[in-house]
């Protein structure tokens, strides 16, 4: 049913439950798990004013390091479950890059985590998961994540 499953991750707290679901789905369907990390260009460019150029470089390096750690963590879990895994890091607007990856890699299912956020937060900033689930032509499985306060 599914040959290519995508798991976009930001490596944040609470992502473990969504990771478990993605690895389990790939294992059950003998699918390749694609793990994607998007370095958010909006965050990097927020620091790109003349006086903040070194801040932009630092922000990009920090986000890249976090992405590498997130990809490695999921890849290790997938490999331990004997799941074929492909990792990929891109720079851009997260929901746009995820949707592009879904199309370009002919993804059959996307598994995404979603945190419970206050209504004002969602109205002001939106949700990457919500945008992807509304705009993706392929199925999207949303796993509610828990975050300790």
In a domain, 26, yes or no: yes
Contact indicator for 26, 32 with CB cutoff of 8 Å = yes
In a domain, 37, yes or no: yes
How far is Cα 29 from Cα 8, in angstroms, rounded to an integer? Answer: 18
pLDDT tens across the length of the chain (149 residues): 899 999 999 888 778 899 999 999 999 999 999 999 999 876 655 555 544 444 445 666 778 888 999 999 999 999 999 999 999 999 999 999 999 999 999 999 999 998 766 555 445 445 888 899 999 999 999 998 765 54
In a domain, 149, yes or no: no
Contact indicator for 89, 39 with CB cutoff of 8 Å = yes
How far is Cα 102 from Cα 73, in angstroms, rounded to an integer? Answer: 21
In a domain, 57, yes or no: yes
In a domain, 112, yes or no: yes
What is the secondary structure of 10-62 as a DSSP string? ---TTTHHHHHHHHHHHHHTTPEEEEEEEEEHHHHHHT-SGGGHHHHHHHHHH
Domain that holds residue 16: 4-144
Q: Give the CATH number for residue 29.
A: 3.40.50.12370
In a domain, 14, yes or no: yes
DSSP 8-state secondary structure symbol assigned to residue 137: S
Q: Please count the structural domains in the chain.
A: 1
In a domain, 137, yes or no: yes
In a domain, 93, yes or no: yes
Q: What are the beta bridge partners of residue 112? A: 142
């Amino acid at each position: 049913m599914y040959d290519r499953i995508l798991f976009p991750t930001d490596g944040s707290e609470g992502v473990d439950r969504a990771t478990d679901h993605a690895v389990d789905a790939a294992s059950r369907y003998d699918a390749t798990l694609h793990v994607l990390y998007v370095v958010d260009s909006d965050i990097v460019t927020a620091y790109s004013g003349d006086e903040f150029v070194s801040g932009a470089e630092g922000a990009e390096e920090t986000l890249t390091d976090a992405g590498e750690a997130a990809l490695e963590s999921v890849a290790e879990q997938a490999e331990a479950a004997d799941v074929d895994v492909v990792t990929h890091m891109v720079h851009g607007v997260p929901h746009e890059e995820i949707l592009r990856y879904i199309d370009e890699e002919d993804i059959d299912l996307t598994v995404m985590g979603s945190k419970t956020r206050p209504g004002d937060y969602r109205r002001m900033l939106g949700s990457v998961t919500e945008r992807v689930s509304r705009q993706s032509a392929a199925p999207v499985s949303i796993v509610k994540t828990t975050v300790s306060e």
